[in-house]
Structure 1
Amino acid sequence: KNTYWEYDKIPKELLAIGYRWEDDQWKLEPMLHDGSYGAMGGLITSIEDFSKYVSFHLSAWPPRSDAENGPVQRSTLREMHTPQFSSLNAEATDFNEKPCASVSGYGYGLGIHTNCKGLKLVRHGGALPGFGSNYVFYPDYGVGIMAFGNLTYTAPWPLKKIEKLLFESLDLAPRKLPVSVILKERQQQVSQLIQSWSPDLEEELLAENFYMDKSREHRMAEAKEIFDKAGTVLSTNEIKPENQLRGSFSIKAENGVINIFFTLTPEKEAKLQQLYLSFEPSES
């Protein structure tokens, strides 16, 4: 509602005028009309309107199978957030100015940075005579920050102080990845499989390469040994997804916990291709 192509269409009370600092005084910078150098594309907007753009980028995360509601698919946005050419900055520091190497790269029009602690941010900044602006968002946290300034080439924020506030003082928690429908369905089948080894279930569930890693006989023997140690099964916990085709869950039993990790194939009908079991006995 407050976005324009031409500055002379903007109500005067809403238009920020650009300045430069020169000869110990503020000097007006000429405004540029829509064109090659007008806001490097000509679009003039407000923080409130621009926040909708940043929110749209954040809506692409975490990856999921919900209905699409934007002009481009979420997968297209995530391509924009994927570095095409990466480089290592071994001398980078974190928001406490402590050594923390980072990997940076350029996606489709956006810079992507991931530091030694796994904190990922996507950003872009820009400036022209009279103005400077920056925005950054953190896909894993659903948080975006935007700042506009009306001073030539200004960097309008103390970003590391803001990061310290967000990720240390406030101790924000990452967003949780939703469980995909197929992952939930396969979890139930995997739980049945490792207790019954039903041929009909195997036919429906297993990928063609499943027994190439370990034979059926060895898998059955491994599972039987674990369930014999575990004793009576009491309950099955919710799955913790790593992505839409991979996750882990546990089965609570009389004598401890059975941990299960599995991966599905990237097919239209995703099948079980990787499975690991382990037993964690109760403390006596």
Structure 2
Amino acid sequence: MGVDQLTEAQIRAAVAVMESFQRRAGQPGIAYGIIAGGELVHSGGIGERRLGGPAPDADTVFRIASMTKSFTAAAVLLLRDRGALRLDDAVATYVPELPGCNGPTADSPTLTIRHLLTMTGGFPTDDPWGDRQQGLPLPAFSELLRRGVSFAWAPGTRFEYSNLGYAILGRVVAAASGMSYLEFMTDHLLVPLGLKRTVFEPEGLPPAELAQGYRRVDEEWVEVPFEPYGAFAPMGGLFSTVRDLARWVGGMIDAFPARDDDDDSHPLHRASRRELQQPHHGYALLPDAVPFADVIRQTSRSYGYGLMVEDDLRHGRFVAHSGGYPGFGSYMRWHPETGIGVVALGNSTYAAARTAATDMLTALLDRRSDRRSNGRTDGPADRRTGRPAGPVPHGKPAWPATLEARADLERLLTEWDDAIAARWFADNVELDEPLSRRRAQLERLREQVGPLQPEDGQQPVHDSPAHCAWWLRGRGGRVRVEIRLTPEHPPRVQTFNVTAAIRPNDRLSALVDEIVAALNEPSPSFPASITTAPSVDREQLTRLMRLAAAWAGGCRLAEVRAGDGETATTIAITGRSGDLLLSLRTDRESVVETFSLDIAL
């Protein structure tokens, strides 16, 4: 999959995060693992798997609680792929205790399997009640359902985390397969994957290899007894190990990219594993307080099928799920674009494994970014070769036609060629901007910037296989070229944008230097020495400076990204923890008319 080998420095940084977490005494013991290239490349354990016992390791068995939901969702899709059910089937078709269970209003839609998979069944959140139903016998569960369930929302209208919904999915699995949920999961998913220590009933495992769960009472650790297997097992009943979960995570990562290879290494098709990891319904968390960095970095949270999907401004897409339960706390998280993932398992009630694992994976990715940009002075856009949208089909960043068009159209920047234009440009290009005007603009650009050459070390950016954006450099500045191809076969170029980024003159450069110096002050404010137009709110600019400084940390100038170099410029700023784009427009007397600081993508 082209995953870079993790360095010792990266692993040390990640381990340091876990050691710091354990020192805060949140649990007696914690086991963790790092996955890269589909393999468990490092694992460790700190503390005690049971009081007075040895440290946990990659083969120590912990209860993984709600991480079970991804296994249940996989079982549902496995049955769907075999034709035993459809995701839009009514749940009542498989669970006879639920006829007429159609929501709180007369116009509520029929409750479907898809609603339950995406946590949009309309049930109210049921933590911690659901955790205490783990061992509920199946007859008692049937009676609970016959008494009716309470709806907070019409199905399909809102995400609300529901253990009950996944318990009901266990009944669906049993009905559609003609086997008990336990038998189907074991025989058709766990055993084929070789997950030998991933079980619903730990009694057959050596006691010395089983982590004991604890809760804190008056500064003392008190054992929490295991709940037996029962009707709510599909939402949180599994026990597993770091080694087994690394294989599970590796199977999810291996679903990317879509490709033509054999698809027989996993009981669930790659396409279905990707489907589990797609954002099917968005949700918002409303805690009492949110770290500032989380607010400005994270763009969205969604639920897939038994997995959570997060999009982050800095690193792109993450897939994850936590497991919180009396006696245990667990978390798995991975980054599909790089194929790097982590697992953390703790043995205290609702242990904050999510925090530890998230920080651990962030440390791995940050170190990876640092290694890529080591010794370079390129701007933020140079830190990755593609947008943070996940792997592309066939593992190729661009169509062959996209790369061929890039090479041909780059020649137009040196000398216009009607044959190249005729070959590549779709009909809309002339209609959107006459070719005569495009040719004249390119001639003016050559006069401003001079002969253009590819920038050393720069890689093109691909939003999709049909898109390419890249930089060229001349003696007077830089030029950004962007093309986008049509969906025709063969494809042609529908977008051809050329944007000049002229090196700012001394006057503009002095203003930019003052602003960057102010960003590095302990309490940044817009420089008093810079004159602004009457329409500019200086207090608002100071607030913007402080927000930007909090996001970026220590700042230094990188590259010009846009502007005529006389009255307008956009400059990339490289920060210690994040990157910015500074845009400035002035009149001829150096009076600032517009000013902005944006997060650089």
Do these two structures clear the TM 0.5 threshold for a shared fold by scoring above it?
yes
Paired position in structure 2 for 1:135? 332
> 1:252, CA displacement in angstroms?
4.3
Q: 1:218 aligns with which of 427, 430, 437?
A: 437
Identify if the C-alpha distance between structure 1 residues 39 and 153 changes in structure 2 by more than 3 Å, giving closer, same or farther.
farther
Once residues 448 and 224 of structure 2 are traced to their aligned partners in structure 1, the CA distance between those partners, rounded to angstroms, is 79
| Change in CA separation of 1:154 and 1:264 when aligned onto 2, cut-off 3 Å | same
Cα 1:171/1:260, change in 2 over 3 Å: same
Where in structure 2 are the equivalents of 1:1-284 lying within 5 Å? 1=194, 2-5=196-199, 6-20=201-215, 26-33=222-229, 36-38=231-233, 40=235, 43-59=238-254, 67=261, 71-73=268-270, 77=274, 80-82=277-279, 84-87=281-284, 92-94=290-292, 100=296, 102=298, 103-114=300-311, 120-139=317-336, 142-156=339-353, 158-159=355-356, 162=359, 166=363, 171-173=367-369, 176-177=385-386, 179-182=397-400, 183-194=402-413, 195-199=415-419, 201-232=420-451, 239-243=459-463, 244-253=465-474, 257-280=478-501
Residues 130 and 87 of structure 1: is their aligned pair in 2 closer, same or farther, counting only changes over 3 Å?
Answer: closer
Q: Which has the higher strand share?
A: 1
For the 8 Å contact 1:92–1:100, the answer to whether it is kept is: no
Query: Counterparts of 1:160 and 1:255 in 2: how far apart (Å)?
Result: 47
- SS at 1:226's partner residue? helix
Higher-Rg member (1/2): 2
Deviation for aligned residue 1:47: 0.5
SS in 1 for 2:409: helix
Name the CA shift for 1:72/1:270 in 2 (closer, same or farther; >3 Å).
Answer: farther
CA change 1:68–1:75 in 2 (3 A) is farther
TM-score, normalised to structure 2's length?
A: 0.39
Q: 1:67 to 1:202 in 2, by over 3 A?
A: farther
8 Å contact kept, 1:245–1:263:
yes
Deviation at 1:217, TM superposition (A): 1.8
Q: Tell me the secondary structure at the aligned position of residue 261 of structure 1.
A: strand
CA contact (8 A) 2:398 2:467 kept: no
Unaligned runs of 5+ in 2: 1-193, 370-382, 387-395, 506-601
Q: In structure 2, do the counterparts of structure 1 residues 133 and 58 end up closer, same or farther at CA, with 3 Å as the change threshold? A: same
RMSD after superposition:
4.2
Q: Percent identity?
A: 21
d(CA) in 2 for partners of 1:101, 1:176: 20
Q: Which amino acid in 1 is paired with 2:443? A: K
- Post-superposition Cα deviations, 1:79-116, rounded to whole Å, max 9, x if no partner, equal 62425224376952156xx8647443322322233457
The residue type paired with residue 497 of structure 2 is Y
**Distance 1:266-1:22 versus aligned 2 partners, 3 A rule:** farther
Identify if the C-alpha distance between structure 1 residues 186 and 94 changes in structure 2 by more than 3 Å, giving closer, same or farther.
Answer: same
The structure richer in helix per residue is 2
Amino acid at match of 1:241: V
1:278 maps to a residue whose letter is: T
Q: In the alignment, which residue of structure 1 is the partner of 2:114?
A: none
Name the count of aligned residue pairs.
278
CA distance in 1, matches of 2:398, 2:232: 45
Out of 127-136 and 72-81, give the one that drifted further. 72-81
Offset at residue 186 of structure 1 (A)? 2.2
Alignment check: 8 A CA contact 1:240 1:247 kept = yes
Deviation (angstroms), 1:25: 5.9
Instruction: Give TM-score, length-normalised by structure 1.
Output: 0.72
SS at match of 1:240: coil
Measured at CA, do residues 21 and 181 of structure 1 come closer, stay the same or move farther in structure 2, by a change above 3 Å?
same
> Matches of 2:260 and 2:436 in 1, distance apart?
40
Instruction: Check conservation: 2:479, 2:500, Cα contact below 8 A.
Output: yes
**8 Å CA contact retained: 2:397, 2:462:** no
Query: What amino acid is the match of 2:225?
Result: E
Deviations 1:129-183 (A, max 9, x none): 4433222234455442322233344333643983697179x54417643632433
Cα separation, 1, equivalents of 2:484 and 2:417: 18
CA drift of 1:282 comes to 7.0
Counterpart-to-counterpart distance in 2, 1:149 and 1:68: 37
| Residues 204 and 138 (structure 1), Cα distance of their counterparts in 2 relative to 1, 3 Å cut | same
**CA contact under 8 A between 2:318 and 2:333: conserved in structure 1?**
yes
Q: Distance in 1 between matches of 2:361 and 2:316?
A: 12
